[in-house]
Structure 1
Amino acid sequence: MPLYMDIHELSEVTAEDVAKAHAKDMEVQRKYGVEYSKYWVNEKAGKIFCLVHAPNAEAAEHVHREAHGMLAEKIIEVQPELAEAFFGGVETNDAGAVLVPGGATDDRDPGIRTVLFTDIVDSTAFTQSMGDEAAMALFDVHNSVVRNALANSSGREVKHTGDGIMASFVSAASAVRCAIQIQRKLDRHAEANPERPLKVRVGAAAGEPVEQNNDLFGSTVQLAARLCGHAQPEQILVSNAIPDLCIGKGLLFEDVGEVVLKGFGSPVRAHAAVWAD
C-alpha cells in the first residue's frame, strides 16, 4: 500500500491537541483502509507531519475529515525507503508522536532533519592518474571515514552518490560534529600519505520534511548538495539555519556571506564550520 505524508499548518497547536486528533483518526481509519502510524509535531512552527499508509491520498483525507475536520494542506506520496533513510526506526509515545532519539522522556521530535553531503575533490582525476584499483582504494578510505563518523554521530546514510555520501541527522550539531570528524581524519590521512592526499568538500542544510517542493526533504537536499558543490576543498559549508540550531553546542562558524547557488532564485547566506584543531 502506498505511503503518504500529510502536512498540517496550524496557527495554535499543542501536542495534546494533536494527540487527541490522532486518537480519533485511529478510531475511523479502518473504515477507509488507512493506517496512520506516527506523526511529528513542530509546536514552534505550528506544523504537523503525519506518516500514513493509504490506498490513495483521498482516503487519508476522508479519515481526517470524518475524525476531526483538521484537513491537511498537502498530502504527498513518499518512497518508503527514503522515509526509512531520513527518519529511521523511530520511537513513539503512547499517543503516536515520534520522540527524539536519546532525548528526555516524551521529548517530541519536530521532524526537522539536517542533510549532509560529502564530495571527493578531483575524483575523476584520481582514476585517470592513478588507475582504477588505486583510486578505489582511496574511495574506500573516504567511505570508511565517513561511515565511522556517521556511527559516532548518530547519522544515517541515505545513499552513496558515487563521489560521496548523503546522510541525515536528527541533530544539526551532530551533523556538524560528524563533518568535523571527517575533515580531521582525512587531514591526518593526508599527513601520513602526502603522495596521495584525499580531500573532500562537505555541505549541510537543515529543514522540515516538506517545504517548497512536493518531495521528502527536497528543498533541504537540494540546498545541502549545492552548498557541498560550492564549498572549497576541506571546507564544511552549511546553511544559515544550522548555526542557530547549534547555539550552546560549543561549535564555531565563520559567516562567509551570501553565495549564488544554481537553482536558487536569490543568493543564500552560508557559514563555514571551523574544524581545525
Structure 2
Amino acid sequence: MPLYMDIHEVPGGVSAEDVAKAHAQDVKIEDKYGVRYHKYWVNEKAGKIFCLCHAPNAEAAAQVHREAHGMVADKLIEIQPELAEGFLGGVEVNDSGAALVPGATNEQDPGIRTVLFTDIVESTTLTQSLGDEAAMAMLGVHDTIVRDALSALGGREVKHTGDGIMASFVSTAGAVRCAIQIQRELDKHAQANPERPLKVRVGAAAGEPVEQHNDLFGSTVQLAARLCAHAQPEQILVTNAIAELCVGKGLRFEELGEVVLKGFGSPVRAHVAAWRQPS
C-alpha cells in the first residue's frame, strides 16, 4: 500500500494539544477507508503539521482528515518508504502519535532536517588515471571517512550517489561538524598519501519534509546538491539559514554572498564553513 505524507499550514501557529486531538480523531475512523495514520510531526511556532500514513490512494488519506476533523492538508505527496526512513529515521512517538526528536526524552520533532552531500572531486579523472581498482580503493576511503563522521555526529546515510553520499541530520550544527570532520580526516589522508590526495566538496541545506516539490525534502535536497556542485574542492558550502541556526555553536563561517545555482530562479545566499584549525 502506498505511503503518503501531507502538510497542513495553520496561520498564526498551532498547539501540540490540538494536533494530538485531531490525530486521535483520524485514528478513530481510518479503518473505514483502509488508511493507517502512523505518526505526525508538528512545528507549533511555524504552524505546520506533517502526517505520515499508508493509504490505498491519496483521496482515501484526504477523506479521513476531511471526515474526522475537517483539516484537509494543503499538500499530499506519495513517498518512498526507504527515503522516509533515510531522512526521518525510525522515529519514536509519544502516546499521542507525535514524532519525537531522536535521543531526546520527550521533545517533539518538528520534522526539519539538514541534508548534506559529499562529492569526490574529478572522480572520473581518478578512474582514468588510477584504474578501476585503485579508484574503487579511493572511493572506499571516502566512504569510510564519511560514514565514520555520520556515526559520530548523528547523521543518517540516505543514499550513495556513486561518487558521494547524501545524508540527513536532525541537528544542523551536527551536520556542519560532520562536514568539518570529513574534510579534516581527508586532509590527514592526503598528508599521509601525497601521491594520491582525495579531495571532496560538501554542500548542505536545511528544510521541511513537504515543500513545493513533489518529493520528500525535494527543495532541500536540490539546494544541498547544487551547493555541493558549486563548492570548490575541499570547501563546505551551506545556506544562510544553516549559518544562522549555528550562531553560538562555536562554528565559523565566511559569507560568500549570493550565488547563482542551476534550477533556482533567484540567487542563493551562501556561506563557507571553516574547517581548518586557526593558526
- Aligned counterpart, 2:187: 187
How many residues are aligned here? 276
Is 1:204 equivalent to 2:204 in the alignment?
yes
1:264 partner SS: coil
The one-letter code sitting in structure 2 at the alignment partner of 1:210 is: V
Which residue pairs with 2:117 in the alignment? Answer: 117
Which residue type is aligned with residue 8 of structure 1?
H
| TM-score normalised by the chain length of structure 1 | 0.98
What's the C-alpha RMSD, in Å, of the aligned pairs? 0.8
SS in 2 for 1:126: helix
Counterparts of 1:166-177 in structure 2, within 5 Å, are: 166-177=166-177
Is the partner of 2:255 in helix, strand or coil?
strand
Structure 1 residue ranges, 4+ long, deviating more than 3 angstroms after superposition: none
Report the Cα offset of residue 6 of structure 1. 1.1
SS at match of 1:269: strand
**Matched residue, 1:244:** 244
Cα distance in 2 for residues equivalent to 1:43 and 1:102: 20
CA drift at 1:248: 2.1
SS in 1 for 2:196: coil
Amino acid at match of 1:27: K
- Equivalent residue number for residue 217 of structure 2: 217
Structure 1: state its 5+ residue gaps. none
State the 1:106 CA deviation. Answer: 2.2
Q: How does 1:1-277 map to 2 (within 5 A)?
A: 1-11=1-11, 12-103=13-104, 105-277=105-277
Report Cα offsets for 1:243-268 as digits up to 9, x if no partner. 12212211111100000101111110
Q: TM-score, normalised on structure 2? A: 0.97
Q: Among the aligned pairs, what percent are the same residue?
A: 78
- The alpha-carbon deviation at position 157 of structure 1 amounts to 0.6
CA distance in 2, matches of 1:159, 1:97: 26
Q: Counterparts of 2:155 and 2:134 in 1: how far apart (Å)? A: 28
- Return the alpha-carbon distance in structure 1 between the equivalents of residues 56 and 245 of structure 2: 37
Write the letter of the residue equivalent to 2:266: S
Segments of structure 2 that go 5 or more residues without pairing to the other structure are none
Task: Name the amino acid aligned to 2:87.
Answer: F
Cα distance between partner residues in 2 of 1:181 and 1:265: 33
On the 8 A contact 2:100/2:106 being kept in 1, the answer is yes
Q: Distance in 2 between matches of 1:106 and 1:247?
A: 25
Kindly provide the amino acid, as one letter, of the partner of residue 193 in structure 1: N
